[in-house]
Chains A and B, each alone.
Chain A
Amino acid sequence: MYPDERVASFISENFIPARVHVREQAEDFQRLGERYGAQWTPTTLMLDSDGKEQHRVEGFLEADDFLAQLRLGLGKIEFNAKRWQDAERAFQGVVASHPETDAAAEALYWAGVSRYKATGDAGALSQTTAAFATRYQDSAWAKKASVWKA
């Protein structure tokens, strides 16, 4: 994941990157592993600026999938800070830039929720349901969005 130039650039531009190594930092690994519930490697956490976990990736992913998860994590950070428009933009970016990844379906769902939170317009949710009719139909997120069908 990390040797990929796109991944490295994205991380450097958007996060403070920090690493805990299971053997070389055994005490930190135990302490922080317990704090954040990380008992396996690789586990990658996206923390907001207050140190609160907002998203995690457990296990190895190919570069495109990992990039999509990083963008998804940034979207969740914006969403949980109630910055709805920034969140929607981030989630839409996942769908647009990484449409073939597992993260894209989740991002499509949260983009719709973000738009609803920003506008109060329930149409944002039914439009999301409609969008799932044409893509990611077999995903868990399509099932979750099905309840919003107009």
Chain B
Amino acid sequence: MEIDWRRDIDMVLGDARVQGRPVLLDFSAAPM
């Protein structure tokens, strides 16, 4: 399973509020 990382952080924060779900926010330098 691969993680479906989202990049639209501001949208993620809005979705989290609506869905009542926590967010894992990863600051990364890993190869894309």
Contacts and interface: CB of A to CB of B under 8 A. Distances in A.
B1 A47 contact: no
Q: Taking chain A's interface residues, is the majority helix, strand, or loop, or is none over half, making it mixed?
A: mixed
Interface of A: 2, 5, 8-9, 11-12, 14-25, 28-29, 32-33, 36, 38, 40-51, 54, 70, 73-74, 77
B27 A18 contact: no
A51 B9 CA distance: 10
B interface, how many residues as a size bin? 20 to 34
Given A42-B30, A47-B16, A16 B3 contact: no
A30 B1 CA distance: 30
Interface in B1-32: 1-9, 12-13, 15-17, 19-30, 32
B22 A20 contact: no
Contact of B12 (A18, A21, A36, A50): A18
Could you say which of B2, B12, B25 has the most chain A C-beta atoms within 10 Å of its C-beta?
A: B25
A41 B29 contact: yes
Contacts of B29: 21-23, 41-42
Contact of B28 (A11, A15, A42): A42
B1 A20 contact: no
Given A8-B1, A22-B29, A46 B23 contact: yes
A25 B25 CA distance: 14
11 contacts: A18-B12, A19-B5, A19-B7, A20-B27, A22-B28, A41-B28, A41-B29, A47-B22, A47-B25, A49-B21, A51-B17
Contact of A15 (B1, B2, B17, B22): B22
A41 B26 CA distance: 8
A19 B22 contact: no
A63 B16 CA distance: 25
